[in-house]
Amino acid sequence: MSLELVCPAGTPSALRAAVEAGAHSVYCGFRDETNARNFPGLNFSPDELVEGVRFAHAHGTKVLVAINTFAKAGAMDAWKAALANAEKAGADAVILADLAVLDHAATHHPNLRLHLSVQAAAATPEAIAFYADTFGVKRIVMPRVLSVEEIAKLNAAINVETEAFVFGGLCPMTEGRCSLSSYATGKSPNLTGVCSPPEHVAYTEDKNGTATRLNGFTIDRFGAGEQAGYPTLCKGRFVAGGKTFYLFEDPVSLNAASLIAALAKAGVTALKIEGRQRGKGYVAEVVRTFRAAVEAIDAGGTEVEVGRLLSGLVEGGRQTSGAYKKTWR
């Protein structure tokens, strides 16, 4: 069976763009802290999700709803409402990370198909078996820290589907375990659904170029014409050992298009494209290009030159195959 292409939709119009560009599935979230892309002006109201599911299903595309932040102790109502609204809208699956949310879904929404979010960072057969046996999870979105060989070994040791990121922004830490944004701003991707919240980001220009500030901390400075990246601490430039450089990670985007065949051989069911915060221009372009790449490989053809076709859309103007081909510093 062909690989399933799972594509981002930050807004109803991006959902339509993804569906029309050939997405097999789209993933999206509600306009609140229950999903890990909680940016202003982004995401779906319950009514918009109903309409989005109707549109996607009419075109043979599935809708997966990300409810993948960690619920607050004693204040789970938003997560419970999100699960109920996803089921009411006819979602094909929900993507969850938190144990309490998984338990609530398994107990109160037994007909909802459960996928485990990358935020849960399940990367061992033991962890995956726990989620599968305890909550009936059917698919794991794998953290972006595994090589293709490790994914092949993992797939041989588990009996649920796996989904691998193939394109888009990289969160280089073991997913869901980064405190950089919390340290600088008091808000984190895991709890409030946003890393480097935009209300804490400021760009200031002077004769030396543009400085990026996160809640008062200067995290990067780039000259006129120099490619820029997302304003996250992991991609900031700092002085260490007398040198100024990207200490944790360069501003690059993941592009594993050249590994699609290898990922399929390693037993991966679905390929995921990151980018719910991106515009419909990005969504349409990336989805169309990857759909052609997947079909070319299915047909035994040659690789599509995804890197060249999408080079104008990527962070920092550069692309990497990330941990899939491991070359850590």
Partner 1 sequence: MAEHFRGELPRFLRILAAPAGFLPLGPALTMAVRRFARRKPAVFDRLGEYGKCSFLIEPSDLDVSFLMVPDGVRAEVKCLRRRASQTADVTVRGPLLVLLGLLDGTFDGDALFFNRAISVSGRTDALVALRNSIEDAELTPADFVGATGSLGKLVDRSVIGGLGLARRFTGSPIPGEPS
Residue 143 contact among partner 1, ligand SF4, none, beta carbon within 5 to 8 Å by kind: none
Helices (H), 122-219: 125-135, 148-157, 180-185
CB of 51 to ligand SF4, least distance (A): 31
Regarding 281 and contact with partner 1 (CB under 8 A), the answer is yes
Residue 173 contact among partner 1, ligand SF4, none, beta carbon within 5 to 8 Å by kind: ligand SF4
Q: Which of residues 184-223 bind ligand SF4 (CB under 6 A)?
A: 189, 195
Q: Rounded CA gap, 91 and 262, in Å?
A: 30
Where does this chain touch partner 1 (CB under 8 A) — which range of 120-128, 185-193, 219-227, 237-245?
219-227
CB of 39 to ligand SF4, least distance (A): 13
Residue 278 DSSP symbol: S
Residues 224-253, mask of contacts with partner 1 (x by CB under 8 A): xxxxxxxx----------------------
Among 35, 69, 258, 277, binds partner 1 (CB under 8 A): 277
- Order of strands, sheet of 201-206, starting from the edge strand that comes earlier in the sequence: 201-206, 209-214, 217-222
Regarding 8 and contact with partner 1 (CB under 8 A), the answer is no
Beta strands in the chain (DSSP E): 4-8, 25-28, 62-67, 93-96, 114-116, 139-141, 161-169, 201-206, 209-214, 217-222, 237-240, 243-246, 253-255, 270-273, 319-320
Pull the structure tokens for residue 286: 């990336």
In 3-state terms, the chain is what percent helix, strand and coil (to 5)?
A: 35, 20, 40
Where does this chain touch partner 1 (CB under 8 A) — which range of 149-157, 175-183, 255-263, 315-323?
315-323
Residues 33-52, mask of contacts with partner 1 (x by CB under 8 A): ------xxxx----------
Q: Rounded CA gap, 15 and 4, in Å?
A: 16
Q: Alpha-carbon Rg of the chain, whole angstroms? A: 19
Q: Which of residues 158-177 bind ligand SF4 (CB under 6 A)?
A: 171-173
**Residues 309, 311, 314, 318, CA torsion sign:** positive
Residue 134 contact among partner 1, ligand SF4, none, beta carbon within 5 to 8 Å by kind: none
Per rule CB under 6 A, count of chain residues that contact ligand SF4: 11
Residue 282 contact among ligand SF4, partner 1, none, beta carbon within 5 to 8 Å by kind: partner 1
Q: Phi, psi at residue 6, to the nearest 5°?
A: -105, 120
Residue 52 contact among ligand SF4, partner 1, none, beta carbon within 5 to 8 Å by kind: none
Q: Rounded CA gap, 213 and 195, in Å?
A: 14
| Residue located via tokens 């109160």 | 108
**Which residues of the chain form contacts with ligand SF4 (CB under 6 A)?**
171-173, 178, 180-181, 189, 195, 232-234
**Which residues of the chain form contacts with partner 1 (CB under 8 A)?**
10-14, 39-42, 197-199, 201-207, 210, 224-231, 277-282, 285, 289, 309-317
